[in-house]
Amino acid sequence: MLRSFTNSAVFLFLAKYQMLHDKEFEITQEIDGKEESDNISTISRLRLIASDYFLSFMWVLSGSIAKYFVNMILGSGMKSVSLLIKGLIALLSLYYFAQLGKATGGSYNPLLILCYAISDNFLEFLYVVLGRIPAQVIGSIMAVWFINVAFPAAAAAAGPHLNIDVNSGALVEGLLTCFIVILSLRLNKFPSSSKKTWIKCVAKVILHFLGSHTTGGIMNPASAFGWAYAKEEHVRKEHLCVYCLAPIEATLLIAWIGSLFPDFTKHRRLHDTQYKDKIE
């Protein structure tokens, strides 16, 4: 009887030990899985920052070189044929970089990612402001430096030029930014397609043309900062007001107005889903 009781106690002890061991193993697996997921997410975020840097670098570099050769061959006049060819080249360049952005998840313009970042949680906002946007700025600065070293002739006529007063320039750049941000937000309600990309590219070319004789129609604070930094004009009032504060304030204004409407929340959720797919 005593032996039977002892055997039963030992059996129960071993069974309980096995259950605890299995439970501990499951918890360990969950922790390891979570740590692995966090590591993958961190690597994906770093990859996204690298994509922003690469796209910003290539955007400034390719745009400056293309502009130099086009002006050298066609001239810098306003003839209809010259404008048509320049517009087609700009359109193809925008479409190509849009496809690169879709493939890598990166961006060369901080305005739209800032628009979504201020409507997202605080950690994502910090990630965009302290990670992605600085990568875009550094990429633009390095591209301008490379152009000055390797293609000094291309650097001479590149970069935005303010041809009106500061207040008018800030107004023009802010309005152009408003239009492109509104269009991008409205198009995001539709599924991703080549048609949507072409519409956005055509709109950017038109807006750039409208602002080319006043501010340059750059609508990209990162790219503008790269050229201003190379010329040591990045702390001047003209640059800060027209090419940095005006487009950023316009983006914040559109994001705030959009947050008052239910459609914007729906578009942001769709963007968040697509964005998380890129970093997971």
Q: Which two tokens stand for residue 108?
A: 């060369």
252: in domain:
yes
Assigned domain for 117 exists: yes
pTM assigned to the model:
0.79
Q: Which of 160, 211, 207 is nearest to 184 (CA)?
A: 207
Question: Does 18 map to a domain?
Answer: no
pLDDT at position 36, please? 43
Q: What is the mean pLDDT of residues 210-218?
A: 88
How far is residue 140's CA from residue 58's CA, in Å, rounded to a whole number?
8
Position 268 scores a pLDDT of 54
pLDDT > 70? residue 259:
yes
- Asked whether the predicted pLDDT for residue 202 surpasses 90, the reply is yes
Answer whether residue 2 is part of any domain. no
14 within domain boundaries: no
The token duo for 250 is 């316009």
The least confident of 77-91, 242-256, 263-277 is 263-277
pLDDT attached to residue 76: 61
Give the chain's mean pLDDT: 79
Q: Is residue 269 pLDDT above 80, yes or no?
A: no
The CATH number for 198's domain is 1.20.1080.10
Does pLDDT of 33 surpass 50?
no
C-alpha 180/C-alpha 201 separation (Å) is 10
- Residues 198 and 95 sit within 8 Å (Cβ to Cβ): yes
Structural tokens at position 38: 């966090």
Question: Does residue 233 form part of some domain?
Answer: yes
Read off the DSSP letter of residue 118: T
CA distance 100 to 84: 24
**Residue found by looking up tokens 């959720």 in the block:** 269
Q: How confident is the model at residue 17 (pLDDT cuts 50, 70, 90)?
A: very low
* Predicted pLDDT at 77: 57
Chain position carrying tokens 């041809």: 163
Full residue range of the structural domain in which residue 133 is found: 41-279
Contacts of 164 (CB under 8 A, 6+ apart): 172, 214, 215
Max mean pLDDT among 40-44, 111-115, 175-179 falls in 175-179
pLDDT of residue 150: 85
For 121-179, how does the pLDDT look when each residue is reduced to its tens digit (9 = 90+)?
A: 788 888 999 999 999 999 999 999 999 888 887 766 677 888 899 999 999 999 999 99
Q: Is residue 28 part of a domain?
A: no
Domain count, the chain: 1
Taking the C-alpha atoms of residue 122 and residue 35, their distance in angstroms, rounded to an integer, is: 22
Each residue of 35-69: b (16+ CB within 10 Å) or e?
A: eeeeeeeeeeeeebbebbbbbbbbbbbebbbbbbe
Q: What pLDDT does 174 receive?
A: 94
Establish if 150 belongs to a structural domain. yes
